[in-house]
Chain A
Amino acid sequence: MDWDFYGQHLIPALNDGLWISILLILPSATGGLALGILTGTIRTFGPPWLKRIGNFYAGIFRGTPLVVQLFILYFGLPNIGIYLSPYAAAVTGFILCSGAYQSEYIRGGLSAIKRGQLMAAKSLGFSSTGSIFWIVLPQAMRRALPGCGNEIIYLIKYSSLAYIITCIEITGQARDVATTYFRFTESFFVAGLYYLALVSIAGIALGKLEKKLYIPGFGKQH
């Protein structure tokens, strides 16, 4: 076994990429979730015109390939005078795409909440926004959590597309090493292990969160 290849080339390169990947994933996951909560709420409770905008956005970003979205953000926007760095373009694309998917899960969670919850909140003097924020959303989030977590797992893996617009993260680094040393199998196999580790950590964290937010009557019994 050629340990020097791993120790001196592949692993250091992948560790550099790992750092970039984490910098891509963290803001994209939180931003995507926040955008998804906002869009999902608008699509459920918003006034008709705002609902239409929300549906249109979700339709576009769920209906086109992420690669195409990234190409438009990175190569297309300069045509109208907007220049994004590879990193900024990737994070923007991931947030927009993830937000569209998250809004679907949130919407599902919101529509599972009984109408009586909203009526009770209003009868106590809550405003419409207040009753959604304090009463309906906290319940909907708990119902949507497994789906939202799943989307974050997906995001970790599709963050690998960033290398296509020259934001060199794990996959980009693996590809560079692979082509330089002509060792594709090992490079991508180890890169795969990096993603597996990231996904496993995320899975454990989400499981902990689900347990922490557990309330009798919601979701699975512990």
Chain B
Amino acid sequence: MNNNVATVLQITDIHKVLGGKEILRGVSMTVDKGELKILIGPSGGGKSTLLQCINFLLPPDQGRIFLDGSEVHFHKKAELYRYRQQVGMIFQDFNLFDHLNALDNVSIALRKVKKIHKAEAGDRAYHELERVGLSDKTDLYPAELSGGQKQRVSIARALAMDPKVILLDEPTSALDPELIGEVLRVIVDLARSGMTMIMATHQIGYVKSLTNEILFMENGRIIEHGPPEKLLSADADTRCRGFCEMLKDLVREP
């Protein structure tokens, strides 16, 4: 155990019932600073629900969440809003604010939530857009951006808040194949720069070398977890490896 590495996020025994069905049945995990955790597993397994529970977009029915060692009391609104500022969220379908251009999409939360002065917020937003390679698209509205550009704006929007951890919910699965690369490159850069992230994805190959741990989710539980070299090694007899092989077969070019 390396005691120098601080735990950023800890979740214990999260349960969630949606529409009478138990989607999460006791999920726990610990995320250390700078780690990239990959959530993988069949759809309906609870990955997306878990990420939304971590951000309390869906309040968990049971379980506790700790950020930097202190428990988050999500019933206290001020505490919940403060917590969410520190936990970025990237959605599958981007969810950029449709009435704001790229720059304002990134700066609005700085101005209205963090109460940062407009000019300063604008500078910060520009800097973040530059970081994701979109400094020439600041004036464009979401309807004028490609899917890949939209997702990069949404990453810039999350980064501008200086989050301690970013949750990514299948960030590339709504994208055309030729646009996936530009988004994954940004995510790889983030991982290299030490950003703490939990990502649900099927694009595992690209980020495998940077992944600290793969969590395989099925039926609302993490049924396997471990570093990719262990879970995906050729002689590993894991559900996860079987699943990933299947994915590979599906995307293999003829």
Task: Please give the residue numbers on chain A whose beta carbons come within 8 Å of chain B beta carbons, in ascending order.
Answer: 114, 116-117, 119-127, 130, 134-135, 138-139, 142, 215-218
Instruction: Check B109–A125 contact: CB distance below 8 A.
Output: yes
Instruction: Check B91–A116 contact: CB distance below 8 A.
Output: yes
Interface residue ranges of B122-155 to A (CB < 8 Å)? 141-144, 154
B15 at the interface (CB under 8 A from A): no
Instruction: Check B108–A123 contact: CB distance below 8 A.
Output: no
Query: Can you report 14 residue pairs joining A to B where beta carbons are below 8 Å apart?
Result: A117-B97, A120-B91, A120-B154, A121-B109, A123-B57, A123-B88, A124-B158, A124-B161, A125-B84, A127-B77, A139-B97, A215-B98, A216-B143, A217-B141
Q: Which A residues touch B114, using CB under 8 A?
A: 125
Instruction: State A121–B97 Cα separation when bound (angstroms).
Output: 8
The residue on B at minimum CB distance from A130 is B112
Instruction: Check A116–B95 contact: CB distance below 8 A.
Output: yes
Q: Which A residues touch B81, using CB under 8 A?
A: 125-127
B172 at the interface (CB under 8 A from A): no
Instruction: Check A215–B99 contact: CB distance below 8 A.
Output: yes
Q: Which B residues touch A134, using CB under 8 A?
A: 108, 112
Report the contact-size class of chain B (Cβ under 8 Å from the partner).
Answer: 20 to 34
Instruction: Check A125–B99 contact: CB distance below 8 A.
Output: no
Whether A124 contacts B157 in the complex (CB less than 8 A), given A119-B57, A119-B95, A130-B112, comes out as yes
Known: A120-B95, A125-B84, A125-B113. 17 other contacts (CB 8 A): A116-B91, A119-B89, A120-B96, A120-B154, A122-B84, A123-B55, A123-B57, A125-B114, A126-B112, A127-B81, A134-B112, A138-B99, A215-B99, A217-B141, A217-B142, A217-B144, A218-B98
Instruction: Check A216–B99 contact: CB distance below 8 A.
Output: no
Q: Chain A's nearest CB lies how many Å from the CB of B18? A: 14
B185 at the interface (CB under 8 A from A): no
Instruction: State A135–B98 Cα separation when bound (angstroms).
Output: 9
Q: Chain B's nearest CB lies how many Å from the CB of A148? A: 16
Instruction: Check B85–A124 contact: CB distance below 8 A.
Output: yes
B32 at the interface (CB under 8 A from A): no
**Secondary structure of the A side of the interface?**
helix
Interface residue ranges of B52-92 to A (CB < 8 Å)? 52, 55, 57, 77, 81-82, 84-85, 87-89, 91
Q: Which A residues touch B158, using CB under 8 A?
A: 124
Which of A120, A123, A138, A216 counts the most B-chain CB atoms under 10 A from its CB? A123
Q: Chain B's nearest CB lies how many Å from the CB of A45? A: 15
Q: Which B residues touch A119, using CB under 8 A?
A: 52, 57, 89, 91, 95
Instruction: Check A215–B161 contact: CB distance below 8 A.
Output: no
Write out, one digit per residue, whether chain B residues 204-233 have a CB within 8 A of any chain A CB (1) or not (0): 000000000000000000000000000000
Q: Which B residues touch A121, using CB under 8 A?
A: 97, 109
Instruction: Check B84–A123 contact: CB distance below 8 A.
Output: yes
Q: Chain B's nearest CB lies how many Å from the CB of A220? A: 13
B182 at the interface (CB under 8 A from A): no
The residue on A at minimum CB distance from B92 is A116
Q: Chain A's nearest CB lies how many Å from the CB of B165? A: 12
Instruction: Check B85–A125 contact: CB distance below 8 A.
Output: yes
Which of B91, B95, B157 counts the most A-chain CB atoms under 10 A from its CB? B95
Instruction: State A122–B97 Cα separation when bound (angstroms).
Output: 12
Write out, one digit per residue, whether chain B residues 106-119 have a CB within 8 A of any chain A CB (1) or not (0): 00110011100000
B13 at the interface (CB under 8 A from A): no
Instruction: State A125–B171 Cα separation when bound (angstroms).
Output: 20
Q: CB within 8 A of B113: which of A116, A124, A138?
A: A124
Instruction: State A127–B52 Cα separation when bound (angstroms).
Output: 17
Instruction: State A123–B154 Cα separation when bound (angstroms).
Output: 12
Which of B55, B97, B141, B157 counts the most A-chain CB atoms under 10 A from its CB? B97
Which of B77, B81, B85, B154 counts the most A-chain CB atoms under 10 A from its CB? B81
Instruction: State A120–B158 Cα separation when bound (angstroms).
Output: 10
Instruction: Check A142–B109 contact: CB distance below 8 A.
Output: no
Q: Which A residues touch B143, using CB under 8 A?
A: 215-217
Instruction: State A142–B157 Cα separation when bound (angstroms).
Output: 23
Q: Chain A's nearest CB lies how many Å from the CB of B152? A: 15
Q: Chain A's nearest CB lies how many Å from the CB of B65? A: 15
Q: Chain B's nearest CB lies how many Å from the CB of A211? A: 15
Q: Chain A's nearest CB lies how many Å from the CB of B89? A: 4
Which of A130, A135, A138, A142 counts the most B-chain CB atoms under 10 A from its CB? A135
